[in-house]
């Protein structure tokens, strides 16, 4: 099922290209309102993990999260390689997660942090904004892939129809 690795490549290219464009045109924490009250582009650097977990540490977390990403990526690659032809949704999900992991890994290795820029929020009537943590294309791919991994068993059988 390595034929689905094209999707991994697309995610990596979209992720790195979008991060490069935003990094080139925005200053750190600069905000551009796209949909007032809902969505901004905001350049942020995350040296931690999801939701900036461990971002305030001394720098060891860069290599820790990079090592985890490398190990997980190798496992995902081997998992995709061993899939059966009928497990296409699983292959798509794993390819998405792999692309996201490699996109963020590139940032960690080359920059020391992950570039985030998608800022969704809700501005209520009292003008108090509630923000979702800023994220990027790689994070979206990981989230969509994880969602597919969760729901795939609900809609697929263990074996293809020809084997039952």
Q: Which helix (H) or strand (E) holds 25?
A: helix 5-25
> What distance separates the 2 farthest-apart alpha carbons in the chain?
60
Question: Which residue among the candidates 116, 152, 158, 161 is catalytic per the annotation?
Answer: 116
Active site residue 56: no
In sequence order, which residues have a C-beta less than 8 Å from that of residue 58 and are 6 or more positions away? none
Question: Which residue among the candidates 15, 107, 119, 139 is catalytic per the annotation?
Answer: 139
Is residue 129 within 8 A of residue 33, CB to CB? The reply is no
Active site residue 139: yes
Sign of CA dihedral 112, 117, 122, 124: positive
Structure tokens at 152: 């795939």
Q: Which residues are catalytic?
A: 116, 139
């Amino acid at each position: 099922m390595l034929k689905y690795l094209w999707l991994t490549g697309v995610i990596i290219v979209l992720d790195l290209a979008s991060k490069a464009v935003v990094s080139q045109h925005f200053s750190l924490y600069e905000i551009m309102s796209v949909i007032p009250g809902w969505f901004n582009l905001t350049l942020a650097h995350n040296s931690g993990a999801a939701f900036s977990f461990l971002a305030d540490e001394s720098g060891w977390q860069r290599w820790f999260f990079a090592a985890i990403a490398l190990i997980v990526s190798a496992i995902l690659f081997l998992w995709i390689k061993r899939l059966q032809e009928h497990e296409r949704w699983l292959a798509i999900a794993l390819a998405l997660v792999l692309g996201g992991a490699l996109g963020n890994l590139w940032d960690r290795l080359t920059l020391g942090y992950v570039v985030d820029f998608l800022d969704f929020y809700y501005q209520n009537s009292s003008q108090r904004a509630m923000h979702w943590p800023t994220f990027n294309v790689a994070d979206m791919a990981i989230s969509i892939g994880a969602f597919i991994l969760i729901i795939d068993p609900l809609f697929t059988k263990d074996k293809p129809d020809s084997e039952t």
